[in-house]
A and B are shown apart, each in its own frame.
Chain A
Amino acid sequence: MIFWVIMAVLAASVSLSVLMPLYRTRQVERRLAEQEMSVYRDQLGEIDRDVDRGLIAGSEAEAARNEIARRLIKADQAKSTDAVGLRSERPRQVAAVLAVVGLPVAAVGLYLLVGSPGLPDAPLAARLAAQPEQQDTAALIARVENHLAANPDDAEGWRIIAPVYVRMGRHDEAATAYRHLVRLLGSNAERETALGEALVRASGGSLTAEAKEAFDRAAALDPQMVGPRFYLALGLGQSGDTEGAVTALQSLIDDSPPNAPWLVSVREVMARLESVDAPPQPGPTADDIEAAGEMAADDRAAMIEGMVAQLASRLESEPDDAEGWARLVRSYMVLGRPDDARAALDQARSALDGDEDKLAMVEAEAQASGLSE
């Protein structure tokens, strides 16, 4: 309510600021030419002062006075033509209506359109000071955070907030919380594992040096624990030791009960590791492009472009691969780059010159994919 009262007062005073001069000004006052003439009179006075100070010589002052006098006379002549007639009341009435009605209505209308009437302020200090049951989760977290910033040695606080961070996806902060827990409560396998996991997630899935150290410590404390074994194996795979990784994962599978919930992920990782040794796919196949259909548009484009680029560069070094050329031409057409397709076809012609069979195959593919000649 008070908000609307203040708004009304504000709008009314603005209207008044327009209305007052409209009704308090008398029509005929000093004329324009007179105001202008006063400037010239002031200038004449200025010259006298300059002469008194000795800044300009008498002859110069005389010349300046002559000039200004000429302008003064000219302004005086203009004055007589600058007549002021009588005014009707009309403009004033229009202006008054504009000020009293138009102005507040337009302002309130626009405000209702873009404003958020009635939404109270939410200064942070007041929100944090509110009773816990009235607070949102974010405010509660902020309160714990503020508490921990002031009392970084409060293990209980870190223990509460660490899993919250994990759930919210704030893995960096989760890692910090677990670091504090390890520092305050000492190292044990669970805490080190939690720290390692937070670090891996924070780095987007790769095992950083700090994460590896955490898992190493956890494994030393409890060699049978699943988490460290899994992540350390993952790390081996990432550093290129595929064989070691597969062995470690296999032994993890062997040690696990057959219905253990983690086995799915472990097998998945293993399958991926084993397929790394298989020969890479030469360029995007139809399946690849279809699979890419399920990705986000940007990722998809990037994936296909990357594969095509890979294929093109491989053909630079192995130019007699007719199948490759055919696929490259087709890929370019699929991607809507006919110019590149044509260039690739030209390259293929010069590379396969003399081998009629291979060339015919590329030509046929070009025809089929719609690259008309």
Chain B
Amino acid sequence: MIAELGHFALILALVLAVVQSVLPFWGAMTDDRRLIAVAGPAAVTQFLLVGLSFAALVHAYIVSDFSVLNVVENSHSQKPLLYKITGTWGNHEGSMLLWVLILALFGAMVAAFGRNLPDRLKALVLAVQAWIASAFLLFVLLTSNPFIRLNPAPIEGNDLNPVLQDIGLAVHPPLLYLGYVGCSIAFAFAIAALIDGRIDAAWARWVRPWTLAAWMFLTLGIAMGSYWAYYELGWGGFWFWDPVENASLMPWLAATALLHSAIVMEKREALKIWTVLLAILAFSLSLLGTFLVRSGVLTSVHTFASDPTRGVFILAILCVFIGGGLSLFAFRATRLAPGGVFAPISREGALILNNLFLTVLAAVVLTGTLYPLVLEALTGARISVGAPFFNLIFIPLAVPLLIIVPFGPMLAWKRGDLRAASERLFAAFGAAILAAAVSAWLAGMDDVLALFGVALAFWLIVGALSELAFRVKLGRAPVAESFRRLAGMPRSAFGTTLAHAGVGVTVLGLVAATTWASEDILTMKAGDTVEVASRTLKLDGFQQRAGPNYAETVARFTVYDGGAAVAVMEPSKRNFAARQTMTTEAAITTFGLSQLYISLGDITPESAVTVRVFWKPLVTLIWLGAVVMAIGGILSLSDRRLRVGAPKPARRTVAAPAE
């Protein structure tokens, strides 16, 4: 009965979403306040309904109710409770339901926290949100219904793909979906503004926090996915330029640009068109990602099941929302009154440059991701656009952007002084040169590009801190005065600093882990040792163990540093009986910021095993950087103040150009 109630709640949610798509929109068009008032309660009720439905599905997973087809296909009674729960969204149907749940959650949050939002705008936003919800609820019910029942019920399920039986599944998809779906709010705001024909600081004041939240979740979700792939797939790689990874990177790039635009928009009423366009693009790219992953166009660990009708359905959703959004933009964007004026060399100007770079980067990723698909569709040729393409195009385009990042916050609003900004960045420049010199001394001059990468990383980190130092007048005022100023700084200022420094931290991790990593592939027997990064690794022996739903062969290694045992590492190979699948569980030990990574290959009958031993210097910085960025986001988000960008007054006493 619970399963059926979940099903009914989902259908009610669809019908309510249709009502929510129509009434508030009608109200906003005719200025009928009673119809407008329906939006908020409907959004909250819709969330409750989808939540009820989701809870019913989770319940079916927990009690192993094999009369639900989705549970049979993706669960197993012997699976640990955590993976029973996470398995709910470790499959196509369940993950789409999670997608819709998060969509409804965001809608309800707009309704609940949007008290200061102009009612009309709120109604339009929630109506647009309900269009998206209707489309996806219909998609779930018609092509991906998780509540299909079986009678009689089988006694055991097919189990979840063992690769997904990991704590990563509990965290990665929800985070990523929060990010993807968060972009839908910005999209809904943009569409509402285009329909309404007006856009102002109040609008941006509302878009910024949602974008920021979505961006934070995307950042964390991508980092989490990267770390998961790193430790679970056993290749020691953290980014493969896999189309599915690209599908998450594209919205991130667009959302990063959108975030910056929205801040300009709120503070200065400039970059209106940019902001609206980026809001549409960010969500379009999120949808595209969903399409690529869910339609079965791409095959990867993310593609749970492919079914052509699903692909066609998502493609239709994609066309309606992206095509509709962009056409609306084309027709209505000119009606948005242009906002604040500014000189080319100014904070606004720098942010336009930033937007340009990020958009081009997203376009590069889009090309690299779609080109093979288009080519295959047209000529049938299968090609793979991999790391070489992206390294050749993406990195050279990203580097100039990273170089100008520290300049942005140093420039004043409206009109900036490039020379003054450069002077303030002397310390960062010095730090970058010093860092490059130190790494040359440590690692040699073999890889000049890597030295440049290290310099770039420190330029970003110290550059971000310099901005803070400048604002508290460090060194130009008494220390006590600087401290007083530091204490008085708004949290959003720390947010900027941390987010920019986080980029530097990630860059440092990427450069170090790709350049100075070592990889040994060797065959070892019990008692054999190998030297890795001035440590000794000894294979003690093998051991058989039984897990809850698998049997594993564990190889036990001891790590010696200068004769003393410092760590025990136990990589293993697991055999999952239900799916007859082997997985490789890597063992990872962190030394400082670097990691030792062991992954097992085949075990021969003579008890010898192929071992891959990686030494990954500073690799943790890649993900720590993302965490630092996200903390920056949280700080900025917690700063509930409005954002005002004080313009730099013109030197002459003549009035500034009229708005």
Contacts and interface: CB of A to CB of B under 8 A. Distances in A.
A11 B15 CA distance: 10
A114 B141 contact: yes
Interface in A249-295: none
Contacts of B642: 39, 42-43, 46
A32 B66 contact: no
10 contacts: A17-B16, A22-B35, A29-B119, A36-B118, A36-B202, A46-B644, A60-B646, A64-B647, A71-B201, A115-B11
B120 A50 contact: no
Contacts of A10: 5, 8-9, 12
A56 B646 contact: yes
Contact of A123 (B8, B41, B63, B340): B63
Contacts of A95: 23, 34-35, 38
Given A21-B40, A122-B67, A32 B646 contact: no
A91 B27 contact: yes
A3 B15 CA distance: 20
Contacts of A56: 646
B85 to A, nearest CB: 15
A84 B3 CA distance: 48
B226 interface: no
A10 to B, nearest CB: 6
Contacts of A98: 19, 22-23
A116 B4 contact: yes
B489 interface: yes
B488 A54 contact: yes
Contacts of B308: none
Interface in A47-88: 47, 49-50, 53-56, 59-64, 66-68, 70-71, 75, 84-85, 87
B5 A6 contact: yes
Contact of B34 (A27, A38, A84, A122): A27
B646 A91 contact: no
Interface of B: 1-5, 7-9, 11-12, 14-16, 18-19, 22-23, 26-27, 30-38, 40-42, 44-45, 49, 60, 63-67, 77, 116-121, 141, 145, 147, 149, 151-156, 200-202, 205, 269, 340, 471, 484-485, 488-490, 641-649, 656, 659
Contact of B26 (A29, A47, A91): A91
Given A95-B23, A121-B60, A55 B490 contact: yes
Nearest to A7: B8
B34 A107 contact: no
Contacts of A125: 63-64
Contact of A21 (B34, B66, B116): B34
Given A22-B38, A111-B11, 15 more contacts: A11-B12, A22-B34, A25-B34, A27-B34, A32-B121, A38-B116, A59-B649, A63-B647, A71-B201, A92-B32, A98-B23, A107-B14, A115-B4, A116-B151, A121-B1
A296 interface: no
A35 B116 contact: yes
Interface residues of A, number: 81
A11 B9 CA distance: 9
A124 B77 contact: yes
A70 to B, nearest CB: 5
A163 to B, nearest CB: 18
A119 B35 contact: no
A139 interface: yes
B646 A116 contact: no
A354 interface: no
Contacts of B1: 2-3, 120-121
A122 B65 CA distance: 5
Contacts of A11: 12
Nearest to A60: B646
A114 B137 CA distance: 14
A138 interface: yes
Contacts of B14: 107, 110
A50 B644 contact: yes
Given A64-B645, A110-B141, A121-B63, A115 B7 contact: yes
Given A7-B8, A121-B3, A124-B66, A53 B488 contact: yes
B644 A43 contact: yes
At the interface, is chain A mostly helix, strand, loop or mixed?
Answer: helix
A314 B133 CA distance: 62
A30 B118 CA distance: 9
B65 A21 contact: no
Contacts of B32: 87, 91-92
A115 B49 CA distance: 16
Nearest to B30: A91
A141 interface: yes
A236 interface: no
Contacts of A91: 26-27, 30, 32, 34-35
B649 A63 contact: yes
Contacts of B645: 64
A64 B49 CA distance: 46
B200 A36 contact: yes
A50 B646 contact: yes
A130 to B, nearest CB: 12
Nearest to B493: A55
Nearest to A28: B33
Contacts of B119: 29-30, 32, 35
A151 to B, nearest CB: 15
Given A17-B42, A39-B201, A111-B8, A32 B19 contact: no
A342 interface: no
Interface string A100-121: 0011001100110011111111
Contact of A115 (B27, B40, B64, B147): B147
Contacts of B488: 53-55
B4 A3 contact: yes
Contacts of B149: 116, 119
A110 B152 CA distance: 24
Contact of A139 (B11, B16, B30, B155): B155
Nearest to B63: A123
Contacts of B647: 60, 63-64, 67
Contacts of B23: 18, 95, 98
Nearest to A40: B201
A299 interface: no
Contacts of A26: 33
A130 B642 CA distance: 63
Nearest to B1: A3
A67 B268 CA distance: 9
Contacts of B26: 91
Which of B49, B67, B121 has its CB near the most chain A CB atoms (within 10 A)? Answer: B67
Contacts of A70: 659
